[in-house]
Amino acid sequence: MTDHFIGIQLGPQSVYDEGVDHCLDIIQEQGRVNTIIVSTHSYYGAHGRSAQALAPDHGVPVRDERSRNTTKVWINHHEQYFGGTFLRHKRDPATEEYADRDVLEDLQGPIRKRGMKLYARILEPHQRRPVQFIDNWPKIMSIDVYGRIYPNTCFNNPDYNNFWLSTVEDMFKSYPLDGLQYGSERSGPLSRVLLHGEVPSCFCEHCCTRARAKGINPERAIEGYRKLYEYITGLRNKTVNPIDGVFVTLMRILLKYPEILAWEYDAYTSKEEQTKRLYGTVKAINPDAQFGIHIDHQQSTYDLFQLAELEYAEMANYCDFIKPIAYHDIAAPRVRRWLLDSVHGSFLRELPLENLLSGFYDIMGLDKNKEPKLDELDSTGFTEDYVYRLTKRLVSNVGGKVPIYPGIGFDVLWNAEHVPANPDTVYKAVHKAFEAGAGGIVLSREYAEMRRANIQAVGRALKDLNI
């Protein structure tokens, strides 16, 4: 078997819908995958997709995940590990599909027999959904700029942090795992207000105490973020028209309230501190287990504040590999709708969209002659050159300290206008990832979405690369 890491993100429902061997046959034989990265908790991601989003050609009938009540917890937890937190995972076999199964238990035998590796995957759930499944969830949610509970969790809340430390301790003591891919698709309050118009959080007592200890004034931060939020909301609603200009007025708020940037950076720091604790927990239990960090699309590709916060050379000190989202296909509509339209509809409305796209390509070091034009972003994807440049940037940053395994993404549904991934580009993207120095790749986003032609394109590329 190759030394390269060839992983795949697998939603556990596929294991049961398709049958363990059926699913592993496709993954191993057609995609040449050697590492299964299975979600053990799906409070966020991994499921809930429409039938249209799922691959129709796996040989079993597609089931619309939105109408199913599948469990969100795919393993059996043990109470003795859950000290220091009042939160508990819950499963109800009477009402939830597959709540009587244990995906790590069910996969480990077949995976070992095939000479493959078994990794767990956790996406830290920071949104509204877990409140339906976990008792006491509102008590660990953030506090927004108006003092209200806001459905985002807080990395300075010990009950929340201990909940995941307990979860990971239990997993690595109870199962012979080869590794964990952990991720938090969470941006800080500044990005959330600027890119999404979201109300800023968190300003809970834990965050305020921490800030004071660092010499950051919470009252000033709250006041600044309120002004910023109300200004951005006014721009998005087209109810403000500042005399000195939209962008200049934004800069004025940031200059008057430097606490805004300080709070943003500290939110990033507390997120990374939790990742460090999780890394340490895994390593203390099993030093050979591999701890990898998943980097989401806005952080890897288009949110300039998050791109500036994240220093990969520093991150290499608390992980064994980094898996950035390098999903070339879906990058194009995401950049168009989640970045360009968003900023053009608020603080960068003075710049034409064409200029914003051109500036984005230049700032990110992408080749505007190769990548899509403005009117092509909705219907096509970025090229394999994007995968190469993103991978190369990360490889250069970590200087060989840890390997980079870019996520090669395909068949991530956007809308009917967006043309599905093309096996030829997927093939080239795999080549380009290795050409840029990747130590492996992760087939993404979820196995359930991937059409066979694209899985086979990955397998063909690996074979041609002698991997």
Binding site for Zn ion (CB under 5 A): 154, 156, 202, 204, 206-207
Other Cβ atoms less than 10 A from the Cβ of 393: the count is 17
| CB of residue 294 to Zn ion, shortest distance in Å | 23
| CB of residue 142 to Zn ion, shortest distance in Å | 5
| CB of residue 153 to Zn ion, shortest distance in Å | 9
Written as six digits, the tokens of 330 are: 């879906």
First to last CA, the chain: 8
| CB of residue 71 to Zn ion, shortest distance in Å | 29
> Are 41 and 74 contacting, i.e. CB atoms less than 8 angstroms apart?
yes
Q: Which is nearer to Zn ion, 42 or 156 (by Cβ)?
A: 156
DSSP strands (E only) in 160-217: 179-183
For the sheet containing 179-183, what is the strand order?
321-324, 290-295, 179-183, 117-123, 35-39, 5-10, 440-444, 407-409
Written as six digits, the tokens of 400 are: 């060989």
| CB of residue 257 to Zn ion, shortest distance in Å | 19
Going by C-alpha positions, the residue among 441, 438, 436 that lies closest to residue 458 is: 441
Which is it for the CA torsion 117, 285, 124, 302, positive or negative? Answer: negative
> Are 390 and 301 contacting, i.e. CB atoms less than 8 angstroms apart?
yes
Q: Which is nearer to Zn ion, 185 or 266 (by Cβ)?
A: 266
| CB of residue 119 to Zn ion, shortest distance in Å | 30
Q: Which is nearer to Zn ion, 30 or 156 (by Cβ)?
A: 156
The SS3 of residue 193 is helix
| CB of residue 263 to Zn ion, shortest distance in Å | 11
φ/ψ of 6, rounded to 5, equals -120, 95
Q: Which is nearer to Zn ion, 8 or 202 (by Cβ)?
A: 202
Cα–Cα dist 187/300, whole Å:
12
Cα–Cα dist 234/403, whole Å:
44
Integer-rounded Cα radius of gyration of the chain: 22
Going by C-alpha positions, the residue among 207, 166, 194 that lies closest to residue 80 is: 166
The SS3 of residue 86 is coil
| CB of residue 203 to Zn ion, shortest distance in Å | 7
Q: Which is nearer to Zn ion, 207 or 340 (by Cβ)?
A: 207
Q: Which is nearer to Zn ion, 206 or 328 (by Cβ)?
A: 206
Strands 179-183 and 149-153: unpaired
Burial of 22 (0-12, 13-18, 19+ CB in 10 A): middle
Q: Which is nearer to Zn ion, 207 or 438 (by Cβ)?
A: 207
| CB of residue 225 to Zn ion, shortest distance in Å | 13
Q: Which is nearer to Zn ion, 114 or 277 (by Cβ)?
A: 277
Q: Which is nearer to Zn ion, 217 or 358 (by Cβ)?
A: 217
